[in-house]
Chain A
């Protein structure tokens, strides 16, 4: 046992004896592994944020279609939905796109009834909008920064409405460490959102929460609802479409796995290019390694002892390289907010995201990174060592 420990110690010495070879190998490992660990971390963080969105959302979403395409839901459907046994609450929501400012900054308007919103929340600087107080808006952090507005700012009319336009007031700004979908948000009351889009009497969806144990019966009843025509217009009926939380949960892994999968494919390609580089780096001191092995054999070392020395050297390099990659990936994501890599996963995030990029480093990619780096480094080291160790020492030294 003491002999094995002594041989293992020579593996550590071998790392220090060849600083150029060890340094080049570590550099290659870190360069290849760090983007991989960081990228998978962002994908996992995004999946977690989406899971929270599904979990805390409504049990059922009722949207509409006309001509087989998405269409606003008439509010006349709301009473029918509320009348279904087992429905605890149902309320309308508007989600739509507008462009703000002279640069036409894209923003996402979300309007829900003001009585469902607390007056203040920890994640808002300022306050939430009030019921019947006119166009009061709560803006996302990124949007507020882009528009250079602060709490209390007044925004001149930026929309067209048949009944006239009003000045809007910014009463709150979301904090930047909320889920990424707040970045470009304009959160307001349902009435304000309806006025911004000049769509009185419509919602983009109805959100339904069910009594415990009633969800299946509520979904079945909602799916039987007939098509509804909007009141006061000549437009044809809108057919309700029901989406449950389970439907969204089924959708979630598919979308996230797709994104993560595409990143993995890119990474495999990058890794394929990196492997020869790593092998060259690991065998950088090939002549030195051959001479070293021959000297050890000439002084009485067995081939397996020489290989054990190489194995320990590889293990140390892989451990240090993979761990450094994980630590650098964490710094990249946490300290530098995923600069550079966020845009791969989040279109529109740009080089330096103005919102907190979600991430979670998982043990599996870190362990996988270590296993792959150990396999590659040991392949590069052990093969050249074995070739030298199995040759005649005199031949190898020559």
Chain B
């Protein structure tokens, strides 16, 4: 690696890796068909889900506040009580 080819290989790696990373960043996210299906799914259901919860058992408001659900995990007026809800505190 300490021969003449080592630095050239390292330079090629230092150029190729960021390019590859840029391609990955540009191409990341759902594929076109998945995006289309997601839009159809939401259209059929009338829009469902808006937060980080995947069911109503923890924090209904974090699943979808559209149905007037209130957050059951908040402990206000305790100071910082809202952060006790795992769906809101991210934990």
Contact = CB atoms under 8 A, between A and B. Distances in A.
A191 B30 CA distance: 34
A179 B45 CA distance: 12
A289 interface: no
Interface in B50-84: 50-60, 62-70
Interface residues of B, number: 60
A58 B46 contact: yes
Contact of B39 (A52, A243, A346): A52
B44 A118 contact: yes
Contacts of A48: 29-30
A309 to B, nearest CB: 12
B27 to A, nearest CB: 9
A184 B55 contact: yes
Q: Most chain-B Cβ atoms within 10 A of its Cβ — which of A142, A255, A358?
A: A255
Interface string A4-40: 0000010011011100000000000000000000000
Given A12-B10, A57-B46, A121-B44, A359 B28 contact: yes
B47 A259 contact: no
Nearest to A128: B44
Contact of A97 (B2, B11, B57, B88): B57
Interface string A33-56: 000000001000110111011111
Interface stretch (A64-72, A157-165, A217-225, A279-287): A64-72
Q: How large is the interface on A (under 10, 10 to 19, 20 to 34, 35 or more residues)?
A: 35 or more
A243 B63 CA distance: 16
Contact of A70 (B22, B47, B62, B70): B70
Contact of B50 (A205, A248, A359, A361): A248
B20 A323 contact: yes
Contacts of A17: 2
A355 B37 CA distance: 15
A15 B43 contact: no
A181 B49 contact: yes
Contacts of A171: none
B70 A182 contact: no
A319 interface: yes
A112 B22 CA distance: 43
A106 B66 contact: no
B42 A56 contact: yes
A53 B90 contact: no
Contacts of A334: 28
B42 A13 contact: no
Interface stretch (A76-84, A297-305, A324-332, A389-397): A324-332
A132 interface: no
A248 B52 contact: no
A112 B45 contact: yes
The 5 A-B residue pairs with the shortest CB-CB distance in the complex, in nearest-first order: A57-B47, A181-B49, A70-B68, A56-B42, A323-B17
Interface of B: 1-2, 6-7, 10-11, 13-14, 17-18, 20-22, 24-25, 28-30, 33-35, 37-60, 62-70, 86-91
Interface of A: 9, 12-13, 15-17, 41, 45-46, 48-50, 52-58, 61, 63-65, 69-71, 91, 93, 95-97, 106-108, 110, 112, 116-118, 121-123, 142, 174-175, 177-185, 187, 204-205, 207, 241, 243, 248, 251-252, 255, 258-259, 262-263, 316, 319-320, 322-324, 326-327, 330, 333-334, 344-349, 355-356, 358-363, 366, 370
29 contacts: A12-B7, A15-B10, A16-B6, A61-B67, A63-B68, A70-B70, A95-B67, A96-B56, A108-B63, A112-B44, A112-B45, A121-B41, A123-B41, A177-B37, A180-B54, A181-B63, A184-B54, A187-B45, A248-B66, A258-B88, A259-B90, A262-B89, A327-B24, A344-B90, A346-B53, A348-B55, A361-B24, A361-B29, A366-B21
